[in-house]
Amino acid sequence: MPGEGKKDVISGGFLVLLGIVVALYAYESYNIGTIRQMGPGMFPLMLGCVLSGLGLLILVPGLVRMAGPLSIRVEVAPFLAVMASILAFALMAERFGIVLSIVALTALSSLADPAFKTKRVVLLAASLSIMSVFVFTILLNLRLPLFNWPF
Partner 1 sequence: MEYFATLGANIALGLGQALSLTNLFYCFFGVLMGTFLGLIPGIGTLVAISLLFPITFHLDPLPALIMLAGIFYGSTYGGSTASILLNLPGTPANAVACLDGYPMSKQGRAGVALLMTTVASFVGATVGILLIMLFAPVIVSYALRFGPQEYFALMVLGLLGASAISEGSPVKGIAMVVFGIILGLVGMDVSTGVQRFGFGLRELFDGISLVALAMGLFGVAEVISRIRTASDRPVDPESVTFRSMVPTRDDVSRSWGPFTRGASVGSFFGTLPGTGGVIAAFMAYAIEKKLAREPSRFGKGAVEGVVAPETANNAADQTAFIPTLTLGVPGSPAMAIILTILIIHGLSPGPRFVTNQPDLFWGLIMSFWIGNIMLVILNIPLIGLWVRVISMPYNLMYPAILVFICVGVYSVSGLVTDIWFVAAFGALGYSLRLFGYSPAPMILGFVLGPMMEEYFRRALLISHGNLLTFFERPISATFMAISALLLTWSLWSSLRGIATKAPAV
86-125 residues near partner 1, rule: CB under 8 A: 86-87, 89-90, 93-94, 98, 101-102, 105-106, 109-110, 112-115, 120, 124-125
Closest separation between CB of residue 149 and partner 1, Å?
Answer: 18
From 116, 144, 122, 121, select the one nearest 132 (Cα to Cα): 144
Closest separation between CB of residue 78 and partner 1, Å?
Answer: 4
126 sits near partner 1 (criterion: CB under 8 A): no
Q: Please, which residue, 74 or 151, has the CB nearer to partner 1?
A: 74
Closest separation between CB of residue 94 and partner 1, Å?
Answer: 6
Q: How many residues form the binding site for partner 1 (CB under 8 A)? A: 74
Candidates 20, 27, 32, 61; binder of partner 1 (CB under 8 A) is 61
CB 62 within 8 A of CB 9: yes
CB 85 within 8 A of CB 105: yes
Q: How far apart are the C-alpha atoms of 144 and 29, rounded to whole Å?
A: 38
Candidates 13, 25, 27, 32; binder of partner 1 (CB under 8 A) is 25
CB 1 within 8 A of CB 58: no
67 sits near partner 1 (criterion: CB under 8 A): yes
59 sits near partner 1 (criterion: CB under 8 A): no
Half-sphere exposure of 148 (CA within 13 A, CB side): 13
Closest separation between CB of residue 121 and partner 1, Å?
Answer: 8
Closest separation between CB of residue 151 and partner 1, Å?
Answer: 20
CB 112 within 8 A of CB 78: yes
Q: How far is residue 78 from each of residues 43, 72, 118, measured CA to CA in Å? A: 38, 15, 17
